[in-house]
Amino acid sequence: MSSSSIATVKRELLVRHLEAWAPAALHRARRVIYAHGYADSDAGVSAEAAMRVLAEQSDLVRGRELIMVATGDDLGAIDPRLKTISAESGAGAGLAVHTISGGTDGRLPVGLKAVGAQRVPVLGFLDASGSMPPAPATVAALTAGKPSEMLLVLPPGSSADAYRAGWPLFTQVELADSEEPGELLVYATTAGKSLEGFKEALWSVDEFAGVRYRDPGDPERHLIDISLTPHPGPLRRELLSHLAEAGEATVTELRTFALTETVYRAADATRVLHTLVDAGTVTRRPSHGRLGGDVVISA
């Protein structure tokens, strides 16, 4: 079961990401879809938080459609609460919520198709930390959007490999409150700028007692405090390991590696590369000048 602190971190990440995603998506398209799976997993608290963020977009919704599709085992108690928030927003028919009971695996793909989620901006949030992980087909249904994004939470000890198909950009982080494996938070998107935005939100959430991050790619499983300037140790190890395999890579390639294959941001990679070069741990070509994107770093 999730600790209350981990649940709070997940909810804040969702809210922060929605606050950035919804206005941008509404400027881009006339119909926007937000899908919330397992909406009854925390008594609907996260679903209500998401609905409030959507309700705050009332000025942008006029003349457009902002639709929330919520699925879960039984949403009988949650449905009126979500629809009350929607009705009180002042957004009129432009903001709508559709709740579908009967399980997320069976209902989410059907619900997305019913509301016309093909080739429109789609963001999905599926917190399966307290249940069986979703079928890959359920997650793949979100890729019908253009662009599409996903936040997926899996139980401790899970692997996210089965969910990579269809997502060109895919990253993951453990949310841990002990040395034991933590819940696995996966973010996937078809847009590079969205990945950068998620990483900024990841490190800017308020620090909650006992909750830290762990990079699944770090062989030493180092726990990292949530901070705007995170401890660079795991990233240093992963960059050196990557260089040992590749032999050499440009700064741009290493920044991309950090962004997509670690919990860190591209800017964190630049800072670590400066320290590695200054210490003589790696070499650079050319040997002098600014550490620009085309500079080649060698192990």
Per-residue model confidence (pLDDT) at position 94: 93
- Whether residue 219 is found in the same domain as residue 248: no
Q: Taking 50 as the threshold, does the pLDDT of residue 22 lie above it? A: yes
What is the pTM for the complete model shown?
0.93
- Whether residue 12 is found in the same domain as residue 133: yes
**Do 88 and 121 meet the contact criterion of CB atoms below 8 Å apart?**
no
- Whether residue 26 is found in the same domain as residue 98: yes
How many structural domains is the chain composed of? 2
**Do 276 and 239 meet the contact criterion of CB atoms below 8 Å apart?**
yes
- Whether residue 179 is found in the same domain as residue 156: yes
More confident residue, 3 or 222: 222
DSSP labels for 83-96?
Answer: HHHHHTTT-GGGEE
- Whether residue 281 is found in the same domain as residue 187: no
Residues 3, 211: Cα–Cα separation, whole Å:
9
Q: Taking 50 as the threshold, does the pLDDT of residue 191 lie above it? A: yes
Last residue of a domain, one of 178, 203, 225: 225
- Whether residue 205 is found in the same domain as residue 124: yes
Average pLDDT over residues 201-210: 86
- Whether residue 64 is found in the same domain as residue 132: yes
Structural domain boundaries, residue 242: 233-298
**Do 184 and 158 meet the contact criterion of CB atoms below 8 Å apart?**
yes
Residues 134, 32: Cα–Cα separation, whole Å:
23
The mean of the pLDDT values for the chain is 94
Pairing of strands 169-176, 212-214: antiparallel
The per-residue pLDDT for range 104-139, each reduced to its tens digit, is 998 999 999 999 999 999 999 999 999 999 999 999
- Whether residue 122 is found in the same domain as residue 170: yes
The per-residue pLDDT for range 156-182, each reduced to its tens digit, is 999 999 999 999 999 999 999 888 999
Per-residue model confidence (pLDDT) at position 2: 54
- Whether residue 58 is found in the same domain as residue 111: yes
Per-residue model confidence (pLDDT) at position 137: 97
Distances (CA, A) of 46 to 32, 86, 101, 244: 19, 15, 17, 42
288: domain CATH number is 1.10.10
53: domain CATH number is 3.40.50
Last residue of a domain, one of 198, 225, 252: 225
- Whether residue 196 is found in the same domain as residue 291: no
Q: Is 157 exposed, middle or buried (0-12, 13-18, 19+ CB in 10 A)?
A: exposed
Least confident of 174-188, 201-215, 266-280: 201-215
- Whether residue 178 is found in the same domain as residue 251: no
For 281, phi then psi, to 5°, come to -70, -35
The per-residue pLDDT for range 211-270, each reduced to its tens digit, is 999 999 888 889 999 999 999 999 999 999 999 999 999 999 999 999 999 999 999 999
> In the β-sheet with 248-250, what is the strand arrangement from edge to edge?
248-250, 296-298, 283-285
Distance of CA 55 to the CA centre of its chain: 21
Last residue of a domain, one of 163, 191, 225: 225
The per-residue pLDDT for range 77-101, each reduced to its tens digit, is 999 999 999 999 988 889 999 999 9
Average pLDDT over residues 175-195: 92
- Whether residue 218 is found in the same domain as residue 239: no
